[in-house]
Structure 1
């Protein structure tokens, strides 16, 4: 198939370094590996282009600079129309159409729905977050009615809506009832790109760092809802020879640096800053265990970092929030901790620092779990199955809760919103 990938969100660079950009790249990369031809239409590209995507067909419409929030929102509405016109005009001029439109849900965009209707081809809408709520809460939303109408029009125009978690799917189903196909397809991982220490086939969990400090790792944007401050606080109670590597950057960087200094951890904690996606696999191979220390509260994400930790063959310590218990519970690859209890996080980290055999065993299980259930190939086949006529995805490809390796405390509640969005 020829696929038009549409991304209006100016906060996500196709070739950026944050998790959303990695997600875009992996979806595109996997579609291409499955034999499909992909053209990307976006408002932001960025400069960290992976070598294997250097030939990707990318068309960008730039958001004007110097606009206030209200002006920027109106500009996005106009860019959505312009992008739809650009795609359909290009098809008319070249005589080469698309078989599918795939859009990552973005506020103020109806481009995918318009392109789909004009070309007479299906639209798959990927929904990663309840953006209306998220925008209001964290960044502010001036033209909320326009955003709600654009969202309703996009969802109504989609033949298939794929959501990264059950909480996100619940939001879609509750606020936009009557949609035909709203499915949950969690995020995944490239198990060829991210491999354990020692290579693809090292599944014995051998401890390659028998000497030297135990490396505790975190990868992600330094924002409050990632809980990196909880990790730092937990490390203040650890004993033994350990180091902490924090890979990422963000608005919490200065506060975290000060927290490390105040707790006397400056010799233990290293801030490595943001790295390009192609450097993440090597960074992961330098860890002995990895942490997803999310705080308590509603968590609707399908955390990329958790899947990457698994693929790297790392034992995982993670907060029991959102979708995480469903991914890690019963795998033997993780210790789930209470997101309200920093001492619980400290105890889990100390257990793994003190027990290299346990780290090795959990790491082997982590890699096996990634290979069996969480590859991007499995995920993308599941996304495209109704359009390609492929056989249904095996049940093992979707994480199922079958138990836990620790007490599951404090799973996030799913707060709901009563929307007043009107279908356009």
Structure 2
């Protein structure tokens, strides 16, 4: 099958990981995938924010930035038409973005089925975090894409609820969570422990570290455990790391914390292998957190917020521990519980691995579902 993959992502971050994983899974199955997308991310290193595109948008007034964003869809529509005429694809697979009706236009012009992957209710998200200059246009572009796609793939049931609110019927919606490649992320894959973590119990966090993660409080709690076998591993970058290092020095904890900085996707399995207890301090209410699924796949004892989207993946005290959302003391209590209870910790680790099979959290299985949906359109 020939599938035209359409997106507007310029950054090379978690979004790019998802795109690359789906494209690779489809190609592994023998399908031809034609990309119509910005080429900014292709040339960038992992972790980049979109380069000059992001810098320009940050400097421009919101009104101008959004006009340019909407204006891009006309240029994008021409690119889509050229690609469709040249490659004659069987279908369009699109990653939804705001102010991007061009995929629907191309679908209608060439009478092609369009499967729309939805990772966020972007109109609502932008309204919550910074606002929108052209509210009516932004909301129209969202509802227009959702209502006119042949089938929609939200990444959580919570997100499916937003799509239903737009008037899309259940028969056009299939929830497909993010996934993992079992060849890369697996509890069976046992790397040698890093020298710093041999015979240690490691509490770990993976991701971009911000103030609201309150990792300083995790460090303070770990300092109360005088036993040298409990360590804190942070795999990622972020604006709070220097302050955390200073705190660790002041508390004489510097030998019990390890911060990797930004690591490549290729090195991520190695660093996940070092973790025993994995924490997800905060989460947006509609997302399917990629790092949470990687925690489960590699057999971690997970501590995560008790929110509706997380409950789609984790059952409390079965394959993870859930804490009251935005309650840091409850999170710390759950971490401490796992430090002190080896039996519970090992039980959760075993059940975490089973979740991948039970919930079908694999990119290859996601690709199978995508192809099946294209075939019935």
Answering whether residue 275 of structure 2 is matched by residue 294 of structure 1, we say no
Q: Who is 1:369 aligned against?
A: 355
Q: Is the 8 A contact 1:228 1:294 kept in 2?
A: no
Kindly indicate whether the alpha-carbon contact (under 8 Å) linking 1:185 and 1:379 is maintained by their aligned counterparts in 2. Answer: yes
Map Cα deviations across residues 169-201 of structure 1 (whole Å, 9 max, x no partner). Answer: 11121134558512322222221111236449x
1:383 and 2:374 matched: no
Give aligned pairs, total: 367
- Pick which of 76-85 and 364-373 moved more: 364-373
Which blocks of at least 5 consecutive residues in structure 1 are unaligned?
51-60, 201-207, 391-424
Residue 97 of structure 1 is aligned with which of 88, 104, 107? 88
Are 1:239 and 1:350, in contact at CA under 8 Å, matched by a contact in 2? no
Q: CA contact under 8 A between 2:316 and 2:322: conserved in structure 1?
A: no
Q: Distance in 1 between matches of 2:3 and 2:196?
A: 44
3-state SS, counterpart of residue 45 of structure 1: helix
Secondary structure of the structure 2 residue equivalent to 1:323: helix
Mapped to 2, the partners of 1:322 and 1:261 lie a distance apart of 38
1:237 touches 1:346 (CA, 8 Å); kept in 2?
A: no
**Separation in structure 2 between the aligned mates of residue 309 and residue 381 of structure 1, nearest angstrom:** 23
User: The residue matched to 1:216 in structure 2 has which SS?
Assistant: strand
State whether residues 5 and 102 of structure 1, in contact with CA within 8 Å, keep that contact through their aligned partners in structure 2. Answer: yes
What is the aligned partner in structure 1 of residue 108 from structure 2? Answer: 117
In 1, the alpha carbon distance for the partners of 2:188 and 2:218 equals 24
Which is helix-richer, 1 or 2? 2
Tell me by how many angstroms 1:62 deviates. Answer: 6.6
Label 1:41 to 1:225 Cα distance change in 2 as closer, same or farther (>3 A). Answer: farther
Please say if 1:42 is aligned against 2:29: no
After the TM superposition, which residues 21-420 of structure 1 pair with which residues of structure 2 at under 5 Å, given as runs?
Answer: 21-43=16-38, 44-47=40-43, 65=56, 67-92=60-85, 94=86, 96-177=87-168, 181-196=172-187, 198-199=189-190, 212-223=199-210, 228=215, 231-232=218-219, 234-240=221-227, 241-253=229-241, 256=244, 265-294=253-282, 299-329=285-315, 332-373=318-359, 374-389=361-376
Asked if 1 retains the 8 angstrom alpha-carbon contact of 2:146 and 2:168, the reply is: no
Task: Determine if contact 1:159/1:180 at 8 Å carries over to the other structure.
Answer: no
Q: Is the 8 A contact 1:331 1:366 kept in 2?
A: no
Question: Once structures 1 and 2 are overlaid, which stretch shifts more, 348-357 or 34-43?
Answer: 348-357
- Contact kept in structure 1, 2:190 and 2:273, CA below 8 Å: no
Q: Show the counterpart of 2:49.
A: none
Contact residue 8 and residue 37 of structure 2 kept, 8 A? yes
Match of 2:15 in 1: 20
* Residues 218-237 of structure 1 deviation map (CA, whole Å, 9 limit, x = unaligned): 11222456564564454355
Q: Is the 8 A contact 2:180 2:293 kept in 1?
A: yes
1:131-179 CA-to-partner distances (Å, cap 9, x unmatched) read: 1121122233222222222212212220011111122111121134558
What is the match of residue 3 of structure 2? Answer: 3
TM-score by length of 2: 0.84
The alignment's TM-score, normalised by the length of structure 1, stands at 0.76
* 1:386-408 deviation digits (Å, cap 9, x = unpaired): 22359xxxxxxxxxxxxxxxxxx
Q: Deviations over 1:230-258 (max 9, x none)?
A: 64454355453211111122355456556
Q: 1:301 touches 1:322 (CA, 8 Å); kept in 2? A: no
- What root-mean-square deviation, in Å, do the aligned CA atoms of Structure 1 and Structure 2 show? 3.4
Which digits, 9 at most, give the CA deviation of each residue in 1:104-151, with x for residues without a partner?
Answer: 111111121122112211111111111112112223322222222221
Contact 2:147 2:166 in 1 (8 A): no
Deviations 1:311-367 (A, max 9, x none): 112221222123212311168331222234433333332333334454344323222
Classify 1:258/1:140 alpha carbon distance in 2 versus 1 (closer, same or farther; 3 Å): farther
Counterparts of 1:190 and 1:6, CA distance in 2: 22
CA distance in 1, matches of 2:61, 2:223: 42
Structure 2 alignment gaps of length 5 or more: 47-51
1:64–1:366 Cα change, 3 Å: closer
